[in-house]
Structure 1
Amino acid sequence: MTFNQLNLIEPILKALEKEGYTQPTPIQEQSIPLILQRRDLLGCAQTGTGKTAAFAIPILQLLKNEQTTERGPKGIKALVLTPTRELAIQIEESFTAYGRFTGLRHLVIFGGVSQHAQTAALQRGVDILVATPGRLLDLMNQGFINLNSIKLFVLDEADRMLDMGFVHDVKKVIAKLPVKRQTLFFSATMPPEITDLANTILVNPAKVEVTPVSSTAETIKQAVYFVEKNNKRKLLNHVLEDRKIETALVFTRTKHGADRVAKDLNNAGIQAEAIHGNKSQNARQRALTNFKSRTTRVLVATDIAARGIDVEELTHVINFELPNVPETYVHRIGRTGRAGASGIALSFCDAEEKPYLRDIHKLISKNIPVVEDHPYHFTSIGHAEIVASSAEKNRAEVKKKKKWFGRSRG
């Protein structure tokens, strides 16, 4: 299927052509027609599936069509609520790209920066508002934002809202929205509290599920290096000697770790910057801009800071430290290999991280190939040991289930 077959209007098709997009991803192919039918939507999809365009394109079309037929009072017509500043900025960039020929006005607002430019833009008039919860509520309380004209509401990354403690703020925003509206709800996972929230705000929703969290894109080539903990920085320098690695997003578990890795890389002559929650908004945005423009070769990030980072043609993701939650591994490596492109995900595993690797293998239902040929190989935690241990764990679980079923039949 091509975008031409989705009944899109000429201004949007023209913008998509300018961006070089011809074929929709599965979530776009499924979601766009449903949203254009004005259905509420429950989308279970992780970042990297093309979900931003899946809601941005039909929102632009619906509002553009109304713009030509309605002459009513002006106000914000669509609200996209998202958990992080970086993701908010990137969503607004998508509206800019796809809506460049529509004449619709859009704005992104977030905390951590002066509100003056944001309030000035609001007073000039906005059709589509992309916002993080804290700044949105702040400007609502100050009287700069009124949600009475909202016709389309998007709650993006709902599970991340829960992780970051924003659900209470989200509920405050929802209470101020018109009852009669179209709601689009996206979440990578559906824990009970998120399911309950979806049930309370969606009316007879269409459901779209793409790429469950346990799967990794087939286009991503994965590999793991066994290495002693104190040799990881040397190994990272060694790996980055390969000039084919044009850009690399490196993950650490802590903010302090991200700063230390970035500092070590710079000392080794490799241009790197860190991005995490303790950095100011301006510093985070500057680091992201430098990375996108390839002024910076390596961006070192923590998980929350990296959620929503969308860098075109990112070639490599490197897990300097394995995550202790296996689903996080899938989210991390999903930064590369996006929208059908190829990518490489490399992971460093020390002795303490063996259980994390076992959990990842179990979640993704396959073993990650091991790179044996490197100068810092840690032979005492060979691949065979991990695979054998994982297999033994699975056998024990099967045995336990058989025993339980046998008892229940008795």
Structure 2
Amino acid sequence: MTQAVASFSDFAFAPSIVERLQTLNYQQPTPVQAQAIPLILAGKDIIAGANTGAGKTAAFALPIIQNVITGKARDKGNWVSHLIVVPTRELAKQVADNIVSYSAHTNGKVKVVSVFGGVSVNSQMLSLRGGADVIVATPGRLLDLISSNAVKLDKVTHLVLDEADRLLNLGFTQELQQILALLPKQKQTLLFSATFPEEVIGLAKELLVNPVELALQNEQESTLVQRVFTVNRETKTALLAHLIKQHQWQQALIFVSAKKSCHHLSQKLAKRGINAQVFHGDQAQGARTRVLNEFKNGDIDVLIATDIAARGIDIDKLPVVINYDLPRSPADYMHRIGRSGRAGEVGLAVTLLSHDEYHHFKVIEKKNKISLPREQEAGFEADEAMPEDIKTVAVAKPEGTGKKKRKKVPAANQDIWSKS
């Protein structure tokens, strides 16, 4: 069990950090903060797994700020001492904004720069003149800046991989390897994520020196309620519209499996009197930023998104997340639903489950060690009869990875119907 830490002042942070945390009304540290911060301050490498909304960003950001303001002055030139690598543009900006906020009382001692694609590289190059104390970067744009000699990594003292399971997965392997090859051998490495699938744990350990593993995913009682509604595929949209209207959800984040599905579902909801905006990787960065900010501010009630919205994005008091389509990865299911019920707030995650998704959802449950009862909504009941022959199930790949992968699943394994 995690020992309680009375306040952030127990960590012996600089007064400027403690004062800022008091201003932000940060009270007792969360379990991941209570365990990770002392280890990071002591120079340990760590692998930290904690539920979404558990305060992971502050867990690594606060020790980094402490290190910057108490360490030696930054070397002149285009070097960086603390590098944070993240998988998405939105997360890069969010993490950088958080660090800037936490260091607001340090009289400008901490220079933070976020770099990511989709926007002009020239402005980011200008921001990096004279180097930086902290860079928060997506892999591709970071490599672009390195090739332009806008930044050097050979004096990095601290490396953080946020959403590390995604970065260590196949989609980022080559880019991450190029970045790691440019870093000094002696550095402190910190890995944070809500999930660490078995297939990436071995690779993660290869990057660290005698790492301390923190697994806090289940230490806090969840404030997130998960509900699963079985429904025929052809009545999914009607059920979705019914639930939104019946419960009068002021904000709802709906996940679909593909970019084109965002617009298709938006059009179908519009015919039912529900105005929904879309959020996916084909949009220009300016449009993505605008839509996300409007959703966070409550100017958009319903947002339909692909899995680029599943990682790290913090939406204050989001009441409900809806899985219209299932994610391909069981880990992404946990990241999706973690957009609601954050930081102790009550939240709701709804999954609309059609017959062709039964088997895949059982895989998701098994991998995440959960078991959820199946419900039906009056007027939208799914047919109980299932064909006895072998079904073909389409499992959509993540955004930008190509065609859908199809696999055959025995009908016996599909029929997991549970009456309510």
TM-score range, shorter-chain basis? 0.7 to 0.9
Shift of 1:216: 10
Shift of 1:256: 1.3
Structure 1 residues 337, 9: CA separation in 2 closer, same or farther (over 3 Å shift)?
same
Instruction: Say whether residues 1:86 and 2:90 are aligned partners.
Output: yes
Q: Residue 247 of structure 1 contacts residue 314 of structure 1 at CA under 8 Å; is this kept in 2?
A: yes
Q: In 1, distance between residues paired with 2:309 and 2:47?
A: 25
Counterpart of 2:49 in structure 1 is 44
Superposition map of 1:54-203 within 5 A: 54-66=59-71, 70=73, 73=76, 75-102=79-106, 103=108, 104-123=110-129, 125-163=131-169, 165-187=171-193, 188-192=195-199, 195-199=202-206, 201-203=207-209
The one-letter amino acid paired with 2:351 is: S
Q: In 2, distance between residues paired with 1:94 and 1:360?
A: 32
Q: Report the more deviating stretch, 234-243 or 337-346.
A: 234-243
Q: In 2, distance between residues paired with 1:152 and 1:330?
A: 28
Q: In 1, distance between residues paired with 2:416 and 2:366?
A: 8
Q: In 2, distance between residues paired with 1:349 and 1:77?
A: 47
Select the structure that is richer in helix.
1
Q: Report the more deviating stretch, 121-130 or 78-87.
A: 121-130
Q: Residue 277 of structure 1 contacts residue 305 of structure 1 at CA under 8 Å; is this kept in 2?
A: no
The match for 2:27 among 22, 36, 48 is 22
Shift of 1:262: 2.4
The one-letter amino acid paired with 1:353 is: E
SS at 2:260 equivalent: helix
Q: In 1, distance between residues paired with 2:246 and 2:21?
A: 35
Shift of 1:192: 4.2
The match for 2:334 among 326, 330, 334 is 330
Q: In 2, distance between residues paired with 1:32 and 1:139?
A: 31
Q: Residue 359 of structure 2 contacts residue 414 of structure 2 at CA under 8 Å; is this kept in 1?
A: no
Between the aligned residues of both structures, percent identity stands at: 37
Structure 1 residues 265, 9: CA separation in 2 closer, same or farther (over 3 Å shift)?
farther
Structure 1 residues 315, 51: CA separation in 2 closer, same or farther (over 3 Å shift)?
same
Q: In 1, distance between residues paired with 2:177 and 2:34?
A: 30
Instruction: Provide Cα deviations, 1:22-74, integer angstroms capped at 9, x if missing partner.
Output: 1222111110011111222222345433211110111011111115xx47546
Q: In 1, distance between residues paired with 2:221 and 2:266?
A: 28
SS at 1:380 equivalent: coil
Q: Residue 162 of structure 1 contacts residue 194 of structure 1 at CA under 8 Å; is this kept in 2?
A: no
Q: In 2, distance between residues paired with 1:335 and 1:228?
A: 26
Shift of 1:267: 4.4
Instruction: Provide Cα deviations, 1:200-238, integer angstroms capped at 9, x if missing partner.
Output: x322222222217xx996211111222221211111111
Q: In 1, distance between residues paired with 2:47 and 2:232?
A: 44
Shift of 1:391: 11
Instruction: Say whether residues 1:310 and 2:314 are aligned partners.
Output: yes
Q: In 1, distance between residues paired with 2:203 and 2:362?
A: 32
Instruction: Provide Cα deviations, 1:115-167, integer angstroms capped at 9, x if missing partner.
Output: 12111111154211000111111111111111233221112223212445211
Q: In 1, distance between residues paired with 2:74 and 2:162?
A: 30
Structure 1 residues 182, 98: CA separation in 2 closer, same or farther (over 3 Å shift)?
same
Superposition map of 1:261-300 within 5 A: 261-300=265-304
Counterpart of 2:16 in structure 1 is 11
TM-score w.r.t. length of structure 2: 0.83
Shift of 1:370: 4.1
- Provide structure 2 residue ranges, at least 5 long, that are not aligned to the other structure: 387-410
- Provide structure 1 residue ranges, at least 5 long, that are not aligned to the other structure: 393-410
The one-letter amino acid paired with 2:177 is: K
Shift of 1:363: 4.2
Counterpart of 2:261 in structure 1 is 257
Counterpart of 1:404 in structure 2 is none
Superposition map of 1:226-265 within 5 A: 226-242=230-246, 244-265=248-269
Structure 1 residues 71, 275: CA separation in 2 closer, same or farther (over 3 Å shift)?
closer
Counterpart of 1:395 in structure 2 is none
